[in-house]
Chains A and B, each alone.
Chain A
């Protein structure tokens, strides 16, 4: 008889779905040795340095990197980490597409991955808007027409540095990071999907059906 209450229900559900052995496995199917599985891990590695360099830039203030050599170097780390993050995320996405990674009950994992991709585009976009240089100015005056055409321009004002800065250094990175954590837990909970053409076949059991 399960223990009553919300806390117990959530704990039991998490325990059932996410034992520590599932989260930190020491054995995996041998086919995980394929190079395509590296892209996801490398994307996370790039995200680590995007966030770390972004924290330094946020700590020192939005103008620091324009006037300091060290600031410029940290901006460069941020810039190239973002480029690497997208390159490997897109490779990971293509890898999962061609392997049809959504099979066998993994559709939600695919969908969260796509949402991460789309939110990351928004996060990078706000980053380009808060560089405080010519590129930011030009992107802002151009992008405003597309955003305005949707009716969202009054609520998501790309010309408003304060609004874009808050979104870029706070809300969107937190969103991306939480979604990535959720995505990893989904992958760990379900495990990687079997290769195409080698499907799971249920084993006949004594209770498989009525005796003829």
Chain B
């Protein structure tokens, strides 16, 4: 900066634009025209293309479409073998889905805040609320609860193994004979409850009248293969660039393309802590975007690659003309 001179950011606009031709400008008219044109555009798009709305899946639709998957998922919840039962914070104190990067363990540091007890919340509590008028269920539930954890695990492990060869008879899941204790009765009742739509409601209940938190039903559904199968058909899974896709043939969150990209390439696509790596990568990139004015190199690219010659083409032509006139006047 020349001593005694004001910087460009400190001078008046009249001084800042010295030597630049000014032209009439109607800001409000420009905004009004743009708003009107945009309205026409979105009205046409809405009338012609509408918008996507694939109905939500329910536990009831799951029970009807794939009862074996629902029963297998429920048995794994009861045995604490499901992804959610093993998840870790913020749902429980396990570590199955905890992601860390060296000493960086934000998931562990934050702790449990949305407490989910998979066997109780997804299976035992809904069943215990359905025992009224059902002595068979009540006594089988009492048998299961009275058994030692070892005995419960033996029944459940044998039953889950047998579910590999399960068949469907009269809307009930049937497995080969074995020592499963009360588990088949419990699972049979849970399936009936799910088929009736009752389990959808029971997983939403709390000690409040109004319900807006779908954590439990969604977590339960996410442990099965039904939901992911529907997503696969709609090209919404992670390996299908799912985060930026939308159901049907509609554009989705295309602005998440970079976020989604990382999940498709090494080392992210094979890392067990891929989510944490992607989030950290995107945080660094977002900060870089924010701080471009202060980052040498990044802030200089527009000078090195002259896209601005296109943006201000007329201005540079005018400058060149003025320069030519000045030169000819001097000579």
Contact = CB atoms under 8 A, between A and B. Distances in A.
Nearest to B211: A162
A33 B23 contact: yes
A81 interface: yes
A65 B9 CA distance: 49
B128 interface: no
B41 A149 contact: no
B112 interface: yes
Interface string B290-310: 111110000100110111100
B113 interface: yes
B270 interface: no
Most buried by A among B99, B111, B230: B99
A136 B5 contact: no
A143 B234 CA distance: 17
B22 A27 contact: yes
A105 B9 contact: yes
Nearest to B115: A154
Interface in A83-133: 83-84, 86, 90, 95, 97-100, 102-107, 110-111, 114-115, 117-118, 121, 124-125, 128, 131-133
B214 A76 contact: no
A20 interface: no
A34 B311 CA distance: 6
B34 interface: yes
Given A26-B25, A151-B107, A191-B13, A84 B312 contact: no
Contact of B212 (A162, A197, A205): A162
Interface string B239-279: 00011001100111111100000000000000001011011
Interface of B: 2-11, 13, 15-18, 20-28, 30-31, 34-35, 37-39, 41-43, 45-47, 49-57, 89-90, 97, 99, 106-114, 212-215, 218-219, 221-222, 227, 230-231, 234, 236, 238, 242-243, 246-247, 250-256, 273, 275-276, 278-279, 286, 289-294, 299, 302-303, 305-308, 311-316, 318-319
Interface of A: 22, 24-34, 36, 38, 41-42, 44-46, 48-49, 65-66, 72-73, 75-81, 83-84, 86, 90, 95, 97-100, 102-107, 110-111, 114-115, 117-118, 121, 124-125, 128, 131-143, 145-146, 148-155, 157, 159-163, 165, 190-191, 194-200, 202-203, 205, 207-209
13 contacts: A28-B25, A30-B314, A46-B42, A95-B311, A97-B302, A128-B253, A134-B230, A136-B56, A142-B242, A149-B276, A152-B110, A194-B20, A205-B5
